[in-house]
Amino acid sequence: KNEVEQSPQNLTAQEGEFITINCSYSVGISALHWLQQHPGGGIVSLFMLSSGKKKHGRLIATINIQEKHSSLHITASHPRDSAVYICAPGSSNTGKLIFGQGTTLQVKP
Amino acid sequence: ETGVTQSPTHLIKTRGQQVTLRCSSQSGHNTVSWYQQALGQGPQFIFQYYREEENGRGNFPPRFSGLQFPNYSSELNVNALELDDSALYLCASSFQGGGYEQYFGPGTRLTVT
C-alpha cells in the first residue's frame, strides 16, 4: 500500500463545476502540501497546512489529522484550472515530502 | 525576494556520462531538496541539504550526489548515467525552521540516450 493515496486519478469536469480531490496518507506528518503541476513540469505550491482549513481565491484545502485525510476543493472551476494536482505530506521525521501520484484534472469549457 | 531557479532547462546526455544540475534557492532559505520525476510519475525524493550538510536521502544509489554551497545554492551530480535517469529533476528550497514550506524551481529535463 502506498504511503499516499489520491483519488480520483483522473477527473474531467465542465466549467463551473465544484471539484474535490481527496488524499489519504499513512505517515506521521508535520504539514501537508497541495501542489499544482502544469504540462512542462513547473510545480506551484498551492497550500501548506497542518490543521483545519485554508482558502485562497477559489481554492480551499482541508485536513483532518486524526483521520489522516485531506481534501482540495475548487469552486467555479475554469479551464485554466486544468493541471495535475499533487498531495504531498511532509514527514514529521525528516521534513521531506512524500508525493502522491497526482490527480489529472481537465476542465472543459 | 527572488524565486528558485534551476539550470540548465533541458539537457541531453549519453549513457555513461556525468551530469551536474544547479539550483539557486530562494533568498533567506537554508534548505534545498532534490526530487526526480519520471514521465507520468510523481516526484521521488533524492536528498536534502541543510546548511551544507546532507540531511536525509531517498532510495537512490551513490551515483547521485550533491553539494550545497555557503550561499545555499546547490548542485546535483549524477555519474555513470543510465537510460532510466531520464526525468525531470526538481529542486525546492525552504527555511527549515518555517514548517517545511517548500518553493519549487521550474525543473531540469534530462534525457539520457
Q: Which regions in chain B score pLDDT beneath 50?
A: 1, 97-98
State residue A1's pLDDT score. 67
Distance CA A76, CA A59 (A): 9
Reported as type and span, the H/E element at residue A43 is: strand A43-49
State residue A28's pLDDT score. 82
Give the residue-averaged pLDDT of A14-34: 93
Cβ distance A41 to B58 less than 8 Å, yes or no, reads no
* Residue reference for cell 505550491: A45
Check residue B42 and report its DSSP letter. Answer: -
State residue A72's pLDDT score. 98
Closest by Cα among A15, A45, A50 to B103 = A45
Chain B nearest C-alpha distance from A84 (Å):
10
- Whether A76 shows a pLDDT value over 90: the answer reads yes
Distance CA A96, CA A4 (A): 13
State residue B98's pLDDT score. 44
State residue B63's pLDDT score. 97
Contacts of A101 in chain B (CB under 8 A): 41-42
Chain B nearest C-alpha distance from A75 (Å):
24
Cβ distance A33 to B101 less than 8 Å, yes or no, reads yes
The one-letter amino acid code at B6 reads Q
C-alpha cell at A28: 506521521
Distance CA A88, CA A100 (A): 6
State residue B42's pLDDT score. 85
* pLDDT > 70 fraction of chain A, expressed in percent and rounded: 95
- Under the banding of pLDDT at 50, 70 and 90, the label for residue A54 is very high
Q: Which of B4, B41, B57, B100 to mutate to test the interface with A (most CBs of A within 10 A)?
A: B100
